[in-house]
Structure 1
Amino acid sequence: MSRIERLKDEGTRTQVVISGAVAGLISRFCIAPLDVVKIRLQLQTHSLSDPLSHDGIKGPTYKGVWGTLRKIRQQEGITALWKGNIPAELLYVCYGGSQFVAYRTISQLLSQMPTRLPSSAESFVSGAAAGAAATTLTYPLDLLRTRFAAQGTEKVYEGILGSLRDISHHEGTRGFFRGCAAANAQIIPYMGLFFSSYEMFHQFFGGRTLPFSSGDALSGVLASVLSKTVVFPLDLVRKRLQVQGPTRSRYIHTNIPEYRGVIRSLVQINRREGFRGMYRGLTVSLMKSAPASAITMYVYERTLHLMLHNNQDQELWVHYDPCCEYEDD
C-alpha cells in the first residue's frame, strides 16, 4: 500500500483527532515566539528603507527577526514572546484535530468515486477542503491570537473572557470573523499545495529513507516553504484585517491603516509599501512555519503510530486471554 493510501486509511477517527491535537499543541508551544515576531512585523506598515515613511509612526520600529526578538524582550519582558499563547494553543489543538479528520474523511470519499482523480489531485482537493473547514471552525481563536500578540505594554483586553465580551459587545458576531475571507483565500491554496507537495516529497524522503523517521519532518519543511511563499501576501492581509475595528489604534502600532476587503487591501498595500511590502515578515514566517510543519507532521505520524501499535498489542493480548475466551463461549 502506498504512503498516500496509508495516510488516508490509517487509524480511527478518534485516533486521528488525538494525533492531530497533540501535534498542534506541541508545535504551537515551540514556535510561539516566532509567531509573535511575525505578527509584529506584518503589522508594521512603514518601509525601513524609506526614512520619510517613519513620519507619524507611533510605536516601535522592528527590523529583522533577532532584532525584533531582542526589542520585545527588552521592552516587554521575556513572557511577551508568548503573548496570545492560550488562544493560540486552543487554536492549534482544535485546528490540528479538525484538519486531519477532515483531510482523512474527504480523501476517503474521493477514493470511493467511480472515476478516481490522480493521487496528487486528491491530496490537493482534500487538503484545500480540510484547511477551509478547519480555518472557519477555529477562526475566532486565530483572531484572538493575533490581537493579543499585537498588544504592547498597554493591555487592550483583560484575558480571554474579557476579549470575548468586548468584541461581542462592540463588534458583534461578525467581529470574530474579521479577515476570514482572506484566511480562506490563503488557506485553500496553501493546504492544497502543502498536502500534495508533502505527499510528493514523502515519496523521496519517507520514514524508511532517512534515520529516526526524519523523512516526515523534512517533507513537512519542504512542503511548508513552498506553499507558504506562494500564498504569503494573503496571510499578511489576514493579519491586517484582524486588527481592524474600534481597538485598531490601541495596538503596539497605533496608526495601522484602515483596510476593507481582500482585493482592495492587496492593492492598497502594494501601492503604499510596494511589492516587498506584501512579503513583510516572510523570513520569520518561513522560520516559524517550516519547523512548525515539521514538528506537526512528525508528532502526528509518531502519535498515530504509537496508538495503532498499542491497539495491535491489546488485540493480541485479548485474543490470547483465557478469560476472554471463556466469556466468548
Structure 2
Amino acid sequence: MSGGVVQLRDEGSQKQVLIAGAVAGLVSRFVIAPLDVIKIRLQLQIHSLSDPLSIRNVNGPIYKGTLGTLKQILREEGLTGLWKGNIPAEALYLTYGAVQFSAYKYTSSLLSSMPAPYQLPDPVNSFISGALAGAGATTGTYPLDLLRTRFAAQGRDRVYSSIMASIRDVATTEGPKGFFRGLGAGVSQIVPYMGLFFASYESLKPFLANMAIPLPFGTSDAAAGVIASVLAKTAVYPLDTTRKRLQVQGPTRSRYVHRNIPVYKGVVRTIGHIWKREGMRGMYRGLTVSLLKAAPASAVTMWTYEQAMAVLLRSEDKLKDE
C-alpha cells in the first residue's frame, strides 16, 4: 500500500479523528447553508417551468433556477431566509462529521488488519469503509436531517416556531416514525455516495499531490474532495430528491412554501411517481446548485479536516517534547 493512499485512515487517534471530523462538518455547514436552502426549495418544486399547464393553481412561489431562487428568497424572506434550518443543520453536520470520520477510520483500519489472503485492495477498502460510515452516520443523525429540511422548506409563514416546538409537534402528531420519514432513501443514497466519494478521494489525492501544475482550491486534499464529491453526488442525486420529498410528508405537508407537494409513500413508489409526473428533469431538479454546494462543501470539509488533524498532531508532539 502506498503511503498517500492510506494517510487519511492511518493518521491520528480515534479521539483526534472525532474532533477533526466534527470541526470539519461544523465549518462546512455554515459556508454552504444558503446553497442548501436553495437546493431544497428547488427539489420540492414539483411543476416544470417549461410546461405552462403544470403551474396552474400553484399556491406558492415559482422558482426559476439557482440565481432566480436566491433573489426571490432574499426579496421575500430577507438574508436570514438563506440560513433557515441552520441550527438543526449545524447539529447535524457536527455530529455527522464526527461519526463519519470516526467510523471510517475504525472500519478501514479493521479491514486493513485482516490477514493477507483476505486483505482488500485500497479502492475496495475505501468503498466499504465509506459506505458503512455513511450509513451509520446517516441513521444516527437522521432526525436532525429531517428537521433541517422542514425548516428550510418554510416560507414567510412558519410551520414550526422553534426547534423544541418542531420536536414536540413531530413526536405528538407523527410519533417516533415521523423523525425517520425517508430514511430508506437516505441510506440507499449515502451508501453508494460515501463509498464512491471516499474511494475516489483516496485514489485522486496521491495522484493530484504529484502533479507539477498548480491545483485549483489550493491543495490536493481540497481538489480531490471536489472532484470526488461531484462524481458521487451526480450518481445518486435522484435518491436525494426522493428523500427530500418524503421528509416533508405528514400533517404539515401542505403548509410549506410549496403547498402542492403530493402525497408520497415509500422510496420506490416515490421515485415512480416523480418519474411519471415530472420525468428525468424532476429527478434532477436542483442538481446544478447541489453540485455548486457539493464542491465547496467537500473542499472545505476535507481541507478543514486535514488542517484540524495537523494542529492536533502538532499539539500532541509538543506535549510529548515537554
Rounded to whole Å, the distance in 2 between the matches of 1:57 and 1:273 is: 15
**Is the Cα contact below 8 Å between 1:207 and 1:214 reproduced in 2?**
no
**1:128-179 C-alpha deviation (Å, 9 max, x unpaired):** 0000000000000000000000001111001100000000000000000000
Which residue does the alignment assign to 2:55? 54
Residue of structure 2 in register with 1:219 after alignment: 224
**1:102 partner letter:** A
Structure 2 distance, partners of 1:173, 1:9, is 38
**234, 256, 272: which is aligned to 1:229?**
234
Q: Deviations over 1:77-110 (max 9, x none)?
A: 1101000000000000000000000000000110
d(CA) in 1 for partners of 2:6 and 2:158?
49
Q: Alpha-carbon deviation of 1:310?
A: 1.6
Please tell me the residue identity of whatever aligns with 1:79.
T
Q: Distance in 1 between matches of 2:16 and 2:114?
A: 25
Query: Aligned Cα RMSD in Å?
Result: 1.3
Give the whole-Å Cα distance in 2 for the aligned partners of 1:296 and 1:29.
Answer: 11
What's the counterpart of residue 30 of structure 1? 31
Q: Using the alignment, how far apart are the partners of 1:100 and 1:67 within structure 2?
A: 36
1:113 and 2:114 matched: yes
Instruction: State the match for 2:67 in structure 1.
Output: 66
Shift of 1:203: 1.8
Distance 1:298 1:73 in 2: 30
Q: Which amino acid aligns with 1:278?
A: M
Partners in 2 of 1:222 and 1:5 — Cα distance?
Answer: 19
C-alpha deviations, 1:225-264, integer Å up to 9, x for none?
0000000000000000000000000000111001111111
Aligned with 2:206 (options 203, 227, 234): 203
User: Does residue 279 of the first structure (1) align with residue 280 of the second (2)?
Assistant: no
Tell me if structure 2 keeps the 8 A contact 1:186–1:231: yes
Whichever residue aligns with residue 189 of structure 1, its letter is P
User: Aligned partners of 2:6 and 2:199: how far apart in 1?
Assistant: 13
| Partners of 1:141 and 1:303 in 2: CA distance | 25
Work out whether residues 5 and 203 of structure 2, in 8 Å CA contact, stay in contact via their aligned partners in 1. Answer: no
| 8 Å CA contact retained: 1:207, 1:213 | no
Q: Is the 8 A contact 1:207 1:216 kept in 2?
A: no
Structure 1 length-normalised TM: 0.94
Q: Tell me if structure 2 keeps the 8 A contact 1:206–1:213.
A: no
- Show the counterpart of 2:142: 139
- The question of whether the paired residues in 2 share the 8 Å contact of 1:131 and 1:191 is answered with yes
Structure 2 residue runs of 5 or longer lacking an equivalent are: none
Determine which structure has more spread, i.e. the larger CA radius of gyration: 1
Alignment check: 8 A CA contact 1:132 1:188 kept: yes
Give the letter aligned to residue 237 of structure 1. Answer: T
- 1:322 aligns with none
C-alpha contact 1:11 1:308 (8 A) present in aligned 2: yes
Q: CA deviation at 1:208?
A: 8.7
Q: For 1:99-178, what aligned pairs fall within 5 Å after superposition?
A: 99-114=100-115, 115-178=118-181
**1:303 aligned partner, one-letter code:** A
Alpha-carbon distance between aligned partners in 1 of 2:295 and 2:247, rounded to the nearest angstrom: 23
CA distance in structure 2 between the aligned counterparts of 1:285 and 1:73, rounded to whole angstroms: 19
| Identity rate, percent | 60
Question: Cα distance, 1:200 vs. partner?
Answer: 1.2
Paired with 2:267 and 2:113, the residues of 1 have a C-alpha distance of 36
| DSSP-derived class of the 2:158 partner | coil
Q: Is the 8 A contact 2:6 2:202 kept in 1?
A: no
User: What TM-score, normalized by structure 2, do the two folds share?
Assistant: 0.96
SS in 1 for 2:180: coil
Structure 1 unaligned residues grouped into runs of 5+ = 318-329
Contact 1:19 1:304 in 2 (8 A): yes
SS in 2 for 1:256: coil
Work out the CA distance in 2 between the residues paired with 1:36 and 1:206.
Answer: 34
- Opposite residue 125 of structure 1, the aligned amino acid is I
Q: Which residue of 2 aligns with 1:243?
A: 248
Change (3 A) 1:207 1:215: farther
